[in-house]
Amino acid sequence: MFSIIIGFSSFILTILLVVYNAFSKKIRRNSFDFILDNTWIKLTFSLFCGSLIFISLSVFTIQIANINTIITLLYFSSFITFGNLFIQFPLIILCIKHSSSYDTIKELIKKVTEIDISNLYDPNNENDVNLIENLEKNKLIQLKDIGVSAIKENDWGLPQTILNDLYEKLIIPLNKETEKKVIFKNLYAYNFICRHFKKVSVEEIDEITVSVLLNNLLRTHLHLANNEIRILRNNPIDETIIDLYRLLIENNNFYNQQSYLLNKVISVIQEHIKSMNYSDEEVPTMDYNMQNLKKERNYEMTIPKNYWFYLKTELPDILFKPLQIAIENKNKNVYSNFCWQLNNLFDTITNSKTLTEYQENEIFQEYSYRARRITDLAINNEIYRGIEFYQHHQIEEWIIQKKKYGLSTLYDFSYLLTKLNNKKNLYNDHIDDFFMIARSISSKKIDIELKLNVIKIIVEDAFKIFENKKSEQYVKDEIVRQLKWLNDYFLREEELSELKREYSDKIEKL
C-alpha cells in the first residue's frame, strides 16, 4: 500500500505541474499564490498527505501489533488507499478545470479592495520595501499583468472579462452622492487598466479587445452624465480616449472601426449636454453677467460652474483632437463624415430643453469656434468636400427663430465659400446651398427687416466672389445663374421691392 501511495505521488506532482503551467499562462507572476488558493488543489493534496501519513503509521504499528490489529490495519489501509485513488481522479479533473476557467480572474476582481485602489492612486512612500511589496500584491496590478499577457497570446476573452467585471465593480456604483475622492480613485483605477490594455491591443491588432475597451471608456462617460456626476475636470478617462483614437486613426488595420469613431464620441457629448439642468444663477454666462451687472455675483467656483467649464472647454477635446489627427494624417475614413456629425451636435445644442438661452448661446459659440478651426485645418490640408459644419436649412432655421448666433453662422458659411474659392475648390453645390437660404427665406413670413438683411448679405458676398480675380470661370457662371434665379424672387415678391430696386438692374447686366 505504501508503495502505491508513493508511486501515486509522482502522478500528483505531474498534475500540479500541469495546473501551474495553466495558471502561469494567464497569470505569469504570483502563479504559485493562485495555486495555493485553489480549493480543489488543497483538498487533493490534503487527502494525499493524510493517506501517506496513515499508511506510514500503519507500517510502524505492524511491527508491534498482534495479528488482529494487523488484519484490521490491512483492511483500513486498503480501503483508504483505493478510496483515495478513486476520489483523487475527480478532484484532479476539478483542479485542471479550475485552472483553465475564468473563475479565478472573476474571484480576483471581487477581491479588489479600497486598499488596492488607494495604494495604486496614492502609493505609500514610507520606504521602498513596503512600496514594492504593496505593488506586487496589488490585485489591480495583477489584473493588468494578466490582461496584457492574454492580449499578447490572442486570448481576447480574458481581457474582455477583466474590463467588463471591473467596470461593474468600479464604475457602476458611482453616483452623484459619491464622495469626490472615491470618484477620482475609481476612475483612476479603471483608467489604469484601460491605459495598459490600449497600446498592446492595438499593437496586437486585437479588434475585439479594442472594441470592448473603447465601448467601456465611452460607457463610463455616459454613466457619469446619466448619474449627474459633475466632478470631471482633468479626469484621466479623456486622455485615454484621445490617445486610443490616435492609435486607431494611425493604424489602418482598424479600417472598419475608424468610420464609427466620431459617431460614438458625439453621442457622449450629446448626453452630457442633455444632462445639463442648471439655472442662470447657478451657471452664469458672460452675457448673463453683462445683462445683470447690478446683481450681486458669487465668484466661488462651485460644482455646477466647474462642470460647465468642463463641458465647454475640456470635453470637446475628445471629438476635435482625434478629428485634427485624422485630418493631419489624411485619414478620409475618419474625417469624411465629420460635417454631418457636427450638424447633429449643433442640433442637440439648439434643441436642448435643459439649457437656458444664455447657456445655449455660449456653448454654441464655443463649439462653433472649434468647428471653424477644424474646417480651416481641413482646407489647409487640401480637404474640400464634405466639410460644411452647418447645413443651409439649419442656418435658415436659426435665423428665423432669431437665435443670437443665427447671422454669425451665415457669415461663417460665407467665409467658408470665400476660402474655398481662394483655394480654387469652390463647388457648385456649395454655392447652391448658400443661395438656397436666400430663396427659401424670401417666401417666409418673418420680420421684413431681418429678411432683407439676410438676402443682402448673400447677394453682396456673391458679387464679391464674382469680382474676385481668383474665381474660376465655372464659379462665375454659377454665381450669375444663382443671382438671376434669385432676381426672379425680387420681381415676384412685393416685400422684396427694395432689393429689386437695388440689385435687379445690376444682375441683369451680368
**In this predicted model, what pLDDT tens digit does every residue of 333-343 receive, in sequence order?**
777 777 778 88
| The predicted structure's pLDDT at residue 289 | 83
Instruction: Select, from the ranges 145-149, 314-318, 374-378, the one with the highest average predicted confidence (pLDDT).
Output: 314-318
Distance in angstroms (rounded) separating the CA atoms of residues 145 and 31: 12
Say what angle helices 497-508 and 473-492 make with each other, to 10 degrees: 140
Distance in angstroms (rounded) separating the CA atoms of residues 176 and 183: 9
Amino acid identity at 421:
N
Number of Cβ within 10 Å of residue 228's Cβ equals 14
Average pLDDT (105-126) is 81
| The predicted structure's pLDDT at residue 2 | 47
Largest CA distance in the chain: 135
Instruction: Assess whether pLDDT exceeds 70 at residue 507.
Output: yes
* Residue scoring higher pLDDT (57 or 117): 117
Average pLDDT (113-139) is 72
| The predicted structure's pLDDT at residue 76 | 58
Instruction: Assess whether pLDDT exceeds 80 at residue 149.
Output: yes
Lowest mean pLDDT among 76-80, 161-165, 477-481: 76-80
Q: What are 459's three cell numbers?
A: 447677394
What secondary structure letter does DSSP report for 204?
T
**In this predicted model, what pLDDT tens digit does every residue of 347-400 receive, in sequence order?**
999 999 999 999 999 999 999 999 999 999 989 988 887 788 889 999 999 999
What secondary structure letter does DSSP report for 447?
-
pLDDT band, residue 509 (cuts 50/70/90): confident
Torsions phi, psi for 28 (to 5 deg) = 60, -100
Start-to-end CA span in the chain (Å)? 114
Instruction: Assess whether pLDDT exceeds 90 at residue 220.
Output: yes
* Contact criterion met (CB below 8 Å) for 23 and 99: yes
Distance in angstroms (rounded) separating the CA atoms of residues 285 and 363: 10
Q: Which long-range contacts (CB under 8 A, 24 or more apart) does 266-271 make?
A: 266/319, 266/341, 266/344, 266/345, 267/218, 267/222, 268/218, 268/221, 268/222, 268/225, 268/318, 269/315, 269/316, 269/318, 269/319, 269/345, 269/348, 270/344, 270/345, 270/348, 271/221, 271/222, 271/225, 271/226
Instruction: Assess whether pLDDT exceeds 90 at residue 407.
Output: yes
Percentage of residues in the chain with pLDDT exceeding 90?
Answer: 47
Q: Name which of 419, 312, 303 is nearest 369 in CA terms.
A: 312
| The predicted structure's pLDDT at residue 32 | 45
How far CA 273 is from CA of 176, 269, 359, 499, in Å, comes to 17, 6, 10, 41
**In this predicted model, what pLDDT tens digit does every residue of 297-310 receive, in sequence order?**
677 788 999 999 99
* Contact criterion met (CB below 8 Å) for 410 and 437: yes
Q: What are 56's three cell numbers?
A: 506510514
Amino acid identity at 476:
K
**In this predicted model, what pLDDT tens digit does every residue of 242-275 receive, in sequence order?**
999 999 988 888 887 777 778 889 999 999 999 9
* Contact criterion met (CB below 8 Å) for 44 and 35: no
Strands (E), 247-399: none
Distance in angstroms (rounded) separating the CA atoms of residues 99 and 92: 11
Percentage of residues in the chain with pLDDT exceeding 70?
Answer: 76
Q: By CB neighbour count within 10 A (0-12 exposed, 13-18 middle, 19+ buried), where does 382 fall?
A: exposed
Q: By CB neighbour count within 10 A (0-12 exposed, 13-18 middle, 19+ buried), where does 180 fall?
A: exposed
* Torsion angle defined by CA atoms of residues 485, 491, 495 and 498, in that order, rounded to the nearest 10 degrees: 100
Q: What are 455's three cell numbers?
A: 438676402
Distance in angstroms (rounded) separating the CA atoms of residues 153 and 147: 10
Instruction: Assess whether pLDDT exceeds 80 at residue 34.
Output: no
| The predicted structure's pLDDT at residue 209 | 93
| The predicted structure's pLDDT at residue 72 | 63
Number of Cβ within 10 Å of residue 176's Cβ equals 12
* Contact criterion met (CB below 8 Å) for 255 and 285: no
Distance in angstroms (rounded) separating the CA atoms of residues 93 and 31: 19
Which H or E run includes 97?
A: helix 67-100
Distance in angstroms (rounded) separating the CA atoms of residues 320 and 436: 29
Is the pTM here over 0.75, yes or no? yes
Give the chain's radius of gyration (CA, Å).
35
Q: By CB neighbour count within 10 A (0-12 exposed, 13-18 middle, 19+ buried), where does 407 fall?
A: middle
Distance in angstroms (rounded) separating the CA atoms of residues 500 and 479: 17
Instruction: Assess whether pLDDT exceeds 80 at residue 92.
Output: no
Average pLDDT over the chain, rounded to an integer: 82
| The predicted structure's pLDDT at residue 338 | 74
**In this predicted model, what pLDDT tens digit does every residue of 462-486 receive, in sequence order?**
999 999 999 999 999 999 999 999 9
